[in-house]
Copies of this chain bind each other. A is one copy, B any other.
Amino acid sequence: MKTMFSKAKIKLINSLKMSKYRNEHRMFIAEGSTNVLDFLQSPIRIAELFATQNWLDKHADRLKGINCSVVNQKDFEKITALKTASEVLALFAIPEYPLLDLTKINSLVLILDDIKDPGNLGTIIRTADWFGIHQVVCSTETVDAFNPKVVQASMGSLARVVIHYHDLFKILQSKPENLPLYGAVLDGKPLMEFNKCDKGIVLIGSEAHGITNNLLQFIDHKITIPTFAGSKAESLNASIATAIICYSFRNQ
């Protein structure tokens, strides 16, 4: 076992903070114990793991056959993307999922139209996981799900939720009639009037512009989360709106 990051490794890890190099190497960084352990339990393939001796000892039974290096806490501080350096960081292969076939969907699916903020996307993935939603389709303009900030905010849920990137117009053209599309908008029917829903698509627009115009035609049901009488707030955060709809669809 090596006992520090080599210069080449530091260069690789730092490069993976950028989308361009993640695409080139087809790898992403997971940092922190929850995240790394959750990915280790998933079908996502690990390339390499760096951890303190303490962390390696604690999790030895889960590390068989894995390329591990010991790194001390100080070295982590040089490389972390987090405020507080973690005890473990690992590189995983970006998973390749088959194209999503909407005609075979039998559950709830989220479609995200240009979510730009990594924190929002990570939080949406975490929330989807909590509410048992395993498929999220992102527009090609949505922030990369393997951006370290998304991985962090997803708190391990990215290991359990499948993320697809698609041209949303194209994929929605293939939507069967018996798969209802619910669009989150400001002028729809109040969310409370919708019953529990276990099959369908929830479409969430971007933080700044809502749902793209050319997608509005696919919406079967417009949903609005009612504001309290007299409130002057203009909108809810996109991850908040998503969560409230998921909660209601699962529990109403």
State the oligomeric state as a number of copies: 2
CB neighbours of A17 from chain B (8 A): none
B interface footprint on A214-252 (CB within 8 Å = 1, 0 otherwise): 000000000001111111111111011001100110111
| CB of A199 to closest CB in B, whole Å | 14
Kindly report which residue of chain B lies nearest to residue A38, judged by CB atoms. Answer: B232
| CB of A184 to closest CB in B, whole Å | 13
| CB of A102 to closest CB in B, whole Å | 21
| CB of A56 to closest CB in B, whole Å | 22
Q: Is A29 interfacial (CB 8 A cutoff)?
A: no
Does the CB pair B132–A251 fall under 8 Å? no
From the candidates B38, B192, B233, name the one contacting A129 in the complex (CB within 8 A): B233
CB neighbours of A248 from chain B (8 A): 247
Assuming the contacts A229-B132, A231-B132, A250-B228, asked whether A126 and B237 have C-beta atoms less than 8 A apart, the reply is: yes
Task: Compute how far the CA of A1 lies from the CA of B167 in the bound complex, rounded to whole angstroms.
Answer: 49
Does the CB pair A228–B192 fall under 8 Å? no
Binds B, one of A45-53, A67-75, A88-96, A152-160: A152-160
CB neighbours of A38 from chain B (8 A): 232
CB neighbours of A229 from chain B (8 A): 132
Q: Is A168 interfacial (CB 8 A cutoff)?
A: no
Does the CB pair B129–A231 fall under 8 Å? yes
Q: Is A211 interfacial (CB 8 A cutoff)?
A: no
Q: Is A3 interfacial (CB 8 A cutoff)?
A: no
CB neighbours of A127 from chain B (8 A): 236-237, 240
Does the CB pair A131–B231 fall under 8 Å? yes
| CB of A117 to closest CB in B, whole Å | 9
Does the CB pair B240–A226 fall under 8 Å? no
Does the CB pair B191–A227 fall under 8 Å? no
Does the CB pair A34–B129 fall under 8 Å? no
Kindly report which residue of chain B lies nearest to residue A128, judged by CB atoms. Answer: B233
B interface footprint on A126-148 (CB within 8 Å = 1, 0 otherwise): 11011111000000000000000
Kindly report which residue of chain B lies nearest to residue A229, judged by CB atoms. Answer: B132
From the candidates B133, B155, B232, B250, name the one contacting A235 in the complex (CB within 8 A): B155
Given A127-B237, A228-B250, A236-B243: 7 more A-B contacts, CB < 8 Å: A131-B228, A191-B247, A226-B251, A239-B240, A243-B243, A244-B247, A247-B248
